[in-house]
Amino acid sequence: MAATTHWSPLADLLADAGSATTLLRLVPVVLLGGGLLVYIIARTALFIKDYMRISRALAKIPTAPGSLPLLGNVIPMITCVRRNIGAWDLMEEWLDNTGPIVKFSILGTQGVVFRDPSALKRVFQTGYKMYEKDLDVSYRPFLPILGSGLVTADGALWQKQRMLMGPALRVDVLDDIVTIAKKAVDRLCEKLAHHAGKGQSVNIEEEFRLLTLQVIGEAVLSMAPEECDRVFPSLYLPVMNEANHRVLRPYRMYLPTPEWFRFRTRMSQLNEYLIDLFRRRWESRQRLGRQKPADILDRIMEAIEESGAKWDAALETQLCYEIKTFLLAGHETSAAMLTWSTFELAMNEKATNKVQAGAPGGCGRVVLRVVSEAEAAFGLRSEKEANRRNVDEMIFTLAVLKEALRKYSVVPVVTRKLVRGSGAADDPVGVLGHPLPKGIMVACHLQGTHRLYEAPDEFRPERFMPEGEYDSFDDAIRAYMFVPFIQGPRNCLGQHLALLEARVVLSLLHKRFKFRVVDGDKVTRMPTVIPVGPTGGLNVVLEQRTDAQAKSCWDPPFLPVRAWWVRVGTHRGDLASRVRQRQLAHGRGGAMLGRRQAGITSRTYECDLHFMALSHAATSEGVAALVVAAKPPRYPNTVT
């Protein structure tokens, strides 16, 4: 049998080592190898020096349990999924057991986590310029999709883009959202009607995801629902799925697996689709001149024209990132909020039905208020075209959504990197009395903040009604006690859109159907994906809610009333302006109708308030006499 010989360049070189030409051939190899070695040593030395600097600066902060050399806390953060909890839940355990601020490390990246509202205020507001987005860890898997879009941009680019994009999402587009959301929920109801009363279960989370994509697709790009259903599930959703997988399995970003290639192909198809749409829109704008803006894209293009920017490939790419950012930021979060709200309403209906077995109507109290607000805004048979003002008045439905965002914290943690300053304490004010060093990751534990409420596991929308628990927090920190959209200059640009859309969808859906969750007691929060929805979706069985039931759901305590109250003796501050401030804070705008001096020691106020808010105010403010008169009902068709 012939022996097989292997050719080896290294063996050849060694065999010829004596000759001068071979030595010359070795020079670049040695130089390259040596250079690489010096580079690695220098990088390692710098890394160790930086690591030691940060460790020294954080010495006084307690360490999270389970930390290992080099790996840090990465193993407990990955394995906690086996306990069916997410890394964010593990962090909450650290905060519960170790202290209000805890340091941790992930493969050499050191960080601190906290939940105190004053600390959030530091990062989000007073010191926000020192903190940038943490692109190295949290956002890395999403960078191929979001690029330098608003969520992932920083510095001057972010500022420029925020100025450009901000108005497009804030002003009159919100009026259109009510109509767009109403059409979308009508379509969903038509679909759900086929399942109603048949005992078939529907994954309502999936339906909400499609619905919110349709709403954002139409609001941003005027896409027809059929077009949304054609494009997004085949191109956009699989790309998002893969990015989500990469969060816990970052190696998927680098291994050229079939999924990696599919990700790339879909990304470029999606980009092509969007850029083609932009070009056609831009050309038609140039041809037809200024028209009434049809959607958010039109508004952005208007801002681009006004800024005098030239339409070129760089602008197209940036716009593509921005639109994908809106699509991503604007649908999954909203779908998760709607899913949890529906879950809570269904569980509430079930609980109340048990208590009130045989009671007329048999609706749960929470559901009943939501239904009554839908009737008020859209008419008894949803025949009315509601406008934004009508939806703004749905304060209880808004409270339900806020409470779902509080209880389930769909975005449980937001991370930043401290980037500015010099010296040992780069943010000398720092958080909770600890100056912080440059280069660390800070994890603002929004979920932890949301659990600083009384009985945090209970679903109590009243917390967010006028004079509720939220109002009772100190003025200095109140805004940082409810942070699903964070606060400050980098707050969520789509929050008004999201809450407006969700009020329409949630109220109309519950006006038409009763929901029962399949295995409701077994529903848990997904431990691996943000935004956090229920593991495996939310399966519900539904039946039609009849008009008669809905009618009987009208809830008198929420009738608007006109009131006069008297406070005797001296009191802290001006009660009238406090009540007014609180109303404004809740978007009620209820102006004082009059104010009159009544004697020396008492004052009489007349104002527009809801009964609930009044009774709270009366008890908490030491009111001596309260006279309440019913206002003419705003929604006569809903009062039985």
Least distance to ligand HEM, CB of residue 389, Å: 21
* Residue 426 C-beta: closest distance to ligand HEM, Å: 20
How many DSSP H helices and E strands does the chain contain? 22, 14
441-445/625-630 β-pairing: unpaired
Shortest spacing between CB 243 and ligand HEM, in angstroms: 15
Contact 466, 612 (CB under 8 A): yes
Comparison of 101 and 483: residue with beta carbon closer to ligand HEM? 483
Q: Quick one: 232 or 635, whose CB is closer to ligand HEM?
A: 232
Residues 6+ apart with CB under 8 A from 12: none
* Min CB(335)–ligand HEM separation in Å: 9
Asked if 367 and 513 count as a contact pair (C-beta separation under 8 A), the reply is no
Q: In this complex, which beta carbon is closest to ligand HEM, that of residue 219 or of residue 508? A: 219
Six-digit token string for 538: 């939310």
Contact between residue 450 and residue 460 where contact means Cβ atoms under 8 Å apart: no
Is 542 in contact with 516 (CB distance < 8 Å)?
Answer: yes
Closest to ligand HEM by CB, 157 vs 627, is 157
CB of 484 to ligand HEM, least distance (A): 4
Q: Can you tell me the distance from the alpha carbon of 35 to that of 16, in angstroms, rounded to the nearest whole number?
A: 24
Distance CA 167, CA 162 (A): 9
Q: What is the DSSP letter of 317?
A: H
Task: Give least dist CB 43 to ligand HEM, A.
Answer: 28
Least CB distance to ligand HEM at residue 370 (A)? 17
Q: Which residues of 441-466 are buried (b: 16+ CB within 10 A; e: fewer)?
A: bbbbbbbbbbbebeeeeebbbbbbbb
Choose between 51 and 485: whose C-beta lies nearer to ligand HEM. Answer: 485
**Measured from the CB atom, is 337 or 614 closer to ligand HEM?**
337
Nearest to 228 by CA among 246, 240, 210, 241: 210
Contact of 320 with 161, CB cutoff 8 Å: no
Angle 141-142-144 from CA coordinates, rounded to 5°: 95
Per the CB < 8 A criterion, the answer to whether 65 and 98 are in contact is: yes
**Nearer to ligand HEM among residue 104 and residue 482 (C-beta):** 482
Spell out the SS3 assignment of 161-184. Answer: HHHHHHHHHHCCHHHHHHHHHHHH
Contact assessment for residue 512 and residue 550, using Cβ atoms and an 8 Å cutoff: no
CB of 452 to ligand HEM, least distance (A): 18
Among residues 150, 149, 278, 287, the alpha carbon closest in space to that of 222 is found at 278
443 vs 617, which CB is nearer to ligand HEM?
443
Smallest distance, Å, CB 91 to ligand HEM? 16
The distance of closest approach from Cβ of residue 372 to ligand HEM in the complex, given in angstroms and rounded to an integer, is 24
Q: Inter-axis angle of helices 204-221 and 313-355, to 10 degrees?
A: 140
Sign of CA dihedral 567, 569, 570, 571: negative
**Residues at the interface with ligand HEM (CB under 6 A):** 150-151, 162, 169, 216, 325-326, 329-330, 333-334, 337, 410-411, 414, 484-486, 490, 492-494, 497-498
333 or 638: whose CB is closer to ligand HEM? 333
Q: Using alpha carbons only, give the angle 571, 575, 576 rounded to the nearest 5 degrees.
A: 145
Q: Residue 419 CB, nearest distance to ligand HEM (Å)?
A: 15
CA gyration radius, the chain? 29
Give the nearest residue (CB) to ligand HEM.
494
Contacts of residue 70, defined as CB under 8 A and 6 or more positions apart, other chains included, come to: 107, 108
519 close to 513: Cβ distance less than 8 angstroms: no
Taking the least distance from each CB to ligand HEM, the nearer of 221 and 550 is 221
Q: Which is nearer to ligand HEM, 343 or 635 (CB)?
A: 343
Query: 3-state DSSP helix/strand/coil percent for the chain, to nearest 5?
Result: 55, 15, 30
Closer to ligand HEM by Cβ: residue 211 or 329: 329
- In the complex, least distance from residue 491 CB atom to ligand HEM, rounded to whole angstroms: 7
Report which secondary-structure segment, H or E, holds 411. Answer: none
Closest to ligand HEM by CB, 336 vs 614, is: 336
Name the amino acid, one letter, at 526.
M
Dihedral of CA 466/470/471/475: which sign?
negative
CB of 255 to ligand HEM, least distance (A): 27
Q: What is the rounded distance in angstroms from the CA atom of residue 253 to the CA atom of residue 262?
A: 12
Q: Are 604 and 566 in contact (CB under 8 A)?
A: yes
80 labelled binding-site residue: no
Instruction: Return binding residues for heme.
Output: 492
Which residues are annotated binding-site positions?
492
